[in-house]
Every structure is written in structure tokens, then in C-alpha cells.
């Protein structure tokens, strides 16, 4: 199996579409006001937004987007007006991550992990 797509809940599709386009994703399906789909700038994955009347309580959804140069990506996005909850930080699990939230509070993690993405020292065989 291969993960093809994930769908995120949104209270306002139009507002979220502007956010994700500004973040650099390509809008490929526009079915306002209920649905929109994007393709990632690299790889073959897509993700979508689906209108909901209520967001989940608690921690909610976290989506990881892998980038080649995390520091430069965060710097560029900061200049575009994005506000990060956490700037690039080396994590104990050997990934470098930066956190920000979309307009609906979904947690987005931009990261770079290199070989440790799928092959950390503690990987089981």
C-alpha cells in the first residue's frame, strides 16, 4: 500500500485554500464551498480539505510535510507572513522540525529527516 492522500477538516474552505496556496501547494480541485484538493510540489501525494461544521477537540490532526532545506523554507515562509509556533528544532527522534497551524488549527510540521526518516538507529528489522 501507498498513502495517496489525506483529508483535513475545515470550517472555511476558501480561507484555507488561500493559506495552502500561499504555502506553495497547487490547487487541483476546486469545489467550493465544500471541498478542495492540492498536490504537493514534490512527490505524488495529494491532500484535500473538506467542509465540516465542527472541528475535533483535543490534539487534533498533525500533518508532516518533508522539505529539502528546512531553514531556508521557514525563512522564506516567515517573510511571506507565516507565523511558526516552533522554529526549526532538532528533535530526539533525529528529525529537524518546525511547527505552524493552518486557519483551522490543524498542526503542520515541516521537517527534514534524511536517512532517519525511515531508518532511525532503533528501527526494527
The predicted structure's pLDDT at residue 42: 86
CATH 3.10.180.10 correct for 1-53 = yes
In the chain, where the domains are located? 1-53, 60-125
Chain-centroid distance, C-alpha 123:
25
Q: Calculate mean pLDDT across residues 99-122.
A: 95
The predicted structure's pLDDT at residue 37: 98
Q: Calculate mean pLDDT across residues 82-105.
A: 97
Question: Which grid coordinates are listed for 32?
Answer: 467550493
Is this prediction's pTM over 0.85? yes
Specify the residue for cell string 490532526.
61
The predicted structure's pLDDT at residue 19: 98
Assign 3-class secondary structure to 4-24.
CEEEEEECCHHHHHHHHHHHC
The predicted structure's pLDDT at residue 107: 95
Q: Which one of 3.40.50.1970, 1.20.58.100, 3.10.180.10, 3.20.20.80 gives the CATH number of domain 60-125?
A: 3.10.180.10
Amino acid at each position: 500500500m501507498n498513502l495517496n492522500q489525506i483529508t483535513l477538516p475545515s470550517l472555511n474552505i476558501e480561507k484555507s485554500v488561500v493559506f495552502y496556496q500561499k504555502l506553495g501547494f497547487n490547487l487541483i480541485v476546486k469545489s467550493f464551498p465544500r471541498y478542495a484538493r492540492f498536490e504537493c510540489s514534490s512527490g505524488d501525494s495529494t491532500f484535500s480539505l473538506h467542509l465540516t461544521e465542527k472541528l475535533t477537540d483535543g490534539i487534533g490532526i498533525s500533518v508532516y510535510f518533508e522539505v529539502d532545506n528546512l531553514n531556508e523554507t521557514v525563512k522564506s515562509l516567515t517573510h511571506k507572513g507565516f507565523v511558526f509556533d516552533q522554529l526549526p528544532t532538532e528533535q530526539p527522534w533525529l528529525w529537524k522540525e518546525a511547527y505552524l497551524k493552518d486557519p483551522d488549527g490543524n498542526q503542520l510540521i515541516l521537517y527534514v529527516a534524511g536517512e532517519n526518516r525511515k531508518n532511525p538507529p532503533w528501527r526494527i528489522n
